[in-house]
Copies of this chain bind each other. A is one copy, B any other.
Amino acid sequence: MTKKKKSTKPVKLEKWKSTSDKQVAPPPAPLPPDERIGYAIVGLGHLALEEVIPELMACKFSRLAALVSSDEEKMEKVALQYGVKPEACYTYDNYDDLKDNDDVKVIYIILPNDMHKEFTIRGAKAGKHILCEKPMANSAAECRQMIKACKKAGVKLMIAYRIQYQPHNLKLKELIKNEQFGKVKYVEAANGQSSANPEHWRHVGAQAGGGALPDIGIYCLNTTRFLLDAEPTEVFAYKYSTPGDPLFKDTEELISWQMKFKDGIIASCMAHYKVHEVKTLRVHAEHGWMFMDKAFAYAGQQLTTARAEGEMSIQENIGLAETKQFAVEMDHFSQCILNDKESDTPGEEGLQDHIIMEAIYKSAETGKPVKIKY
């Protein structure tokens, strides 16, 4: 521990920028590689290969320690590319053997949604902390089982939300909390993209647990709850799937809903699987609005505020250094483990989203507003 503390102290460099320019954070001070928390990555699809594993290479407190996949040929390739030894590669069958691999402290589950519950519970039983992709599962009931299993096993459970760790969203939350523009009055959130491939598990109801709502609509929901630090009391929703479109044979193409919060705040949200990409968030307050473009994207957030000053209207673009979102997320969990703390997005956070998503679906199906009791 003494050595570790020493090693993580950032190197102090001489100053060279004046305060007239944006200041830069001190250089990173990663833990020595062998002291970093080892991760087993479960599932080698788009997200794992395009985002998570590459960013794991850039982590300061986390490192790649094992792979789990049902596609052994693919796993062999990936293992070679990232230097994972064959003995640290697991199939779904021998996944439980991770319990004997002390090099692995965290299991990061990046599987189709219907597999989250099983792999979380098996992973917890193997004595590993669990980082599970969102949506947490396919129902609130499954979420409760997962939370219970992790508690029982004495391991931590974190849901892989990114917004709670993303600088522009954190700055936005600060502006709201400080009532920089007075009280919040209304929220608009939209998350849309254009899907293809009806065979993909995202378009198979049994695997995905739904369509646009749990995959991308969850960002509108979760981010609004995070920013307002409040829970909705009622929802009303419409959903739609183009008749005959194979992409939406048993999941929704569009979900469009309103949520009531305290003090008359309404959040108007939409998630769409058949529009050009859009990921926007606008928070309307008494004396100004705050807009974020690419709010839920992996990169490219743009935060703008607007207010009036006499006869002038002022729009401010707030530039913040971007972070590698998945690296930050994993390092957050690693630090929670190093310091034995709860993460900012534990299983309970995932459960709450599922409770509300179930109300949203119920409203869309019954054509009536649905109240949410707490």
Chain A interfacial positions (CB closer than 8 Å to B): 3, 6-9, 11, 13-25, 27-34, 44-46, 49-50, 54, 57-58, 74, 77-78, 80-83, 171, 181-182, 185-186, 188, 190, 192-197, 199-200, 202, 236, 238, 240-242, 253-254, 256, 258, 260, 263-264, 266, 268, 270, 272, 274-278, 280, 282, 284-289, 299-300, 306-308, 310-322, 367-369
Interface CB pairs A-B, < 8 A, 19 = A9-B77, A13-B45, A16-B196, A17-B193, A21-B194, A23-B310, A24-B50, A24-B311, A28-B54, A28-B81, A32-B81, A54-B58, A186-B270, A240-B266, A258-B258, A268-B270, A278-B284, A312-B320, A314-B319
Nearest chain B CB to A75 CB, angstrom units: 9
**Most chain B CB within a 10 A radius of its CB, from A77, A260, A276:** A276
The A interface, classified by DSSP as helix, strand, loop or mixed, is mixed
* Interchain CB contact under 8 A, A21 and B308: yes
Residues of B near A308 (CB, < 8 A) are 19-23, 276-277
* Interchain CB contact under 8 A, B199 and A311: no
In the bound assembly, the distance between CA atoms of A186 and B256 in angstroms comes to 9
In the bound assembly, the distance between CA atoms of A240 and B186 in angstroms comes to 11
* Interchain CB contact under 8 A, B276 and A307: yes
Chain B's closest residue to A367 (CB) is B369
In the bound assembly, the distance between CA atoms of A372 and B272 in angstroms comes to 25
* Interchain CB contact under 8 A, A299 and B322: yes
